[in-house]
Amino acid sequence: MPTRRDLANAVRALSMDAVQAANSGHPGAPMGMADIAEVLWNDFMRHNPKNPQWPDRDRFVLSNGHGSMLLYSLLHLSGYALPIEELKNFRQLHSKTPGHPEYGYAPGVETTTGPLGQGISNAVGMALAEKTLAAQFNRDGHSIVDHFTYLFLGDGCLMEGISHEACSLAGTHQLGKLIGFYDDNGISIDGEVEGWFTDDTPKRFEAYGWQVIPAVDGHDAEAIKQAVEAARADTTRPTLICCKTVIGFGSPNKAGTSGVHGAALGADEVKAAREQLGWSHPAFEIPEAIGQGWNATDRGAACEHSWQQQFDQYQTAHPELAAEFERRMSGALPADFAEHAQQYIEQCQQNAESPATRKASQNCLDAYGPKLPELLGGSADLAGSNNTIWNGSVPITAGDAAGNYFYYGVREFGMSAMMNGMTLHGGFIPYGATFLVFMEYARNAVRMAALMRQRVIFVYTHDSIGLGEDGPTHQPIEQLTNLRTTPNMSTWRPCDSVESAVAWKAALEKADGPSSLIFTRQGLPHQARESQQVAAIERGGYVLHDVPQPDVILIATGSEVGLAMQAATQLSETGIAARVVSMPCTEVFDAQDVAYKESVLPSNVTARVAVEAAHVDFWYKYVGLNGKVVGMRSFGESAPAEQLYDLFGITVAAVSEAAKSVLAN
């Protein structure tokens, strides 16, 4: 009968063997946290290795993702479809065991981690999703949503500012089913952290409203078990278990040093560690008894079976709720959503209203929201400016989590990473808003949403120099290019209510990646369209105004579409025939077939002008090097919007002159 230490040593052995085989990786954290992981996964984790998507499973997040071999070892040992060959291929091309945990590669990996601190925020989002979903669906005698989110984190995670944003909210919202294990080993890449990290972490988390269990020996299984039991017993506060560990535990010459953090131990040290740990088995070999001690397939199947019995009873008592729960966890939209949305789009065209597109966005929420109880909105303390609260918005509070609107406070980064966690949890389509320029604060979380192909909707208002008097600190210039060049991201910048309605529909229907919706502060004119033009909006770019034989093509988005339309009229008065192309989403347009793109931007019309109140460089791929781009080449200034457009030459006259210039070449 293997001891707990024997079971933990299996994780240590697999981790140091895989890193050694790759001659690359981080053995220190897996070896240091193995005892903690053994207790958690063998005594407490509710999961089914044969069904990693079981809705009521506990979630496990490895925020210190450089220690990925810890997670891969746990998945392999407990019975997930991650064979030993994949561990032998650690960090190799096309393996399921990349250097950091990547969502979608290996079953059981709940989120992509690596950028330190983001796993923490993902976990907070998951815990909030669990609490909110439980409040929405559980009924007396029926708790179909009832699971924990477990989180491993290190010093580096806590040094990242995003950890404050998310953990503060976790305490405020009393996320009592969130349990974090702090790997307090005193070592980071540069050495002993006491030279740059002297925070009183227990007091910090107590101030957030967390239960803190300090000074737990991270190599004492019984002490760890008692700490987890105490954490689970307090469901009104999240818990941080502070575990004192030795990085690289078992390595006789490198344990407790930065030398074991991010490099293979070396063949001699691996041999010495085996001797010190009493692990006499060859590389990647797990004795049968230890394998049986870890295997969780029977236990996992029993857990899911018990839950399924509960769900069957719930289904009998509340059939409509049960069907809605299954729909939402599957990620499918209501069957009639597309038809409903199309009717609203056509209504917008008929109404011919000319609001700011941020207001048009709010109108979309009023139209689509009643059909979509899975919508979970929020704003980084800018709800009144972002227009993210709609008629059906109900605040989520610590005492009542059944709502659909979350007040994030001034936490753009934390908000965005938490939304990723909510989506990964399942049951929700989150949207969160700030000013476009402050996307920069959240940039890495936005990137992670795209990397993981998650349906997260980022709402960005005040999209250009058009916001006016707040000045260059608040006026985005380069951010649109940043978003548009992000793989898997769809960035929509609509020109009126109709395009706004299409953008929201597209974002909600896109299940394989995030969307950024870019809206104005200022009012924009409604554009007249035929039905086929309305239908073409969803293709990302379309001909808004046409002539029998265009001399020049004007391309525009958002607030500048109106300028382009006026310029086309002005040019026609001088005998120049101008086609106007509205391109609300360049990524979607680029994905269209060649014939359609040629019909919009015919290759025989080389005289082209793009206009957008953003950085000019992005648009040369459409206008060519001989084309002209009317836009921004500098930061903005503080002044009323009309003055700024004149100052920076983003005017009807400038577009007309640019058109004449390209025709003259």
Alpha-carbon distances of 395 from 21, 36, 72, 173, 406, rounded to whole Å: 51, 37, 39, 12, 6
For 498, the enclosing helix (H) or strand (E) is helix 497-509
Alpha carbon dihedral 429, 435, 436, 437, in 10-degree steps, equals -140
**SS3 of the chain: helix, strand, coil, percent, to 5:** 50, 15, 40
Pairing assessment for the beta strands 515-518 and 457-461 based on DSSP bridges: parallel
Measured CA to CA, the distance from residue 313 to residue 18 in angstroms comes to 45
Max CA distance (Å), the chain: 92
Measured CA to CA, the distance from residue 267 to residue 274 in angstroms comes to 11
564 Cβ contact list (under 8 Å, min separation 6): 554, 555, 556, 580, 611, 655
Cα 527 from chain centroid?
A: 34
Known catalytic residue at 412: yes
Note the residue count of the chain: 665
Q: Is 249 exposed, middle or buried (0-12, 13-18, 19+ CB in 10 A)?
A: buried
E strand map for 534-607? 542-545, 552-556, 578-582
Q: Which tokens go with 47?
A: 């999961």
Q: Please check whether residue 310 is in contact with residue 318, taking contact to mean a CB–CB distance below 8 angstroms.
A: no
Total H helices, total E strands in the chain: 27, 18
Q: Which tokens go with 566?
A: 């006026």
592 phi and psi, to 5 degrees? -75, 165
The catalytic position among 102, 269, 412, 560 is: 412
Tell me, what DSSP letter sits at residue 465?
Answer: G
**Hey, how many other C-beta atoms are within 10 angstroms of the C-beta on 444?**
16
Q: Which tokens go with 594?
A: 């060649």
Cα 262 from chain centroid?
A: 27
461 phi and psi, to 5 degrees? -105, 180
Tell me, what DSSP letter sits at residue 456?
Answer: -
Active-site residue list: 412
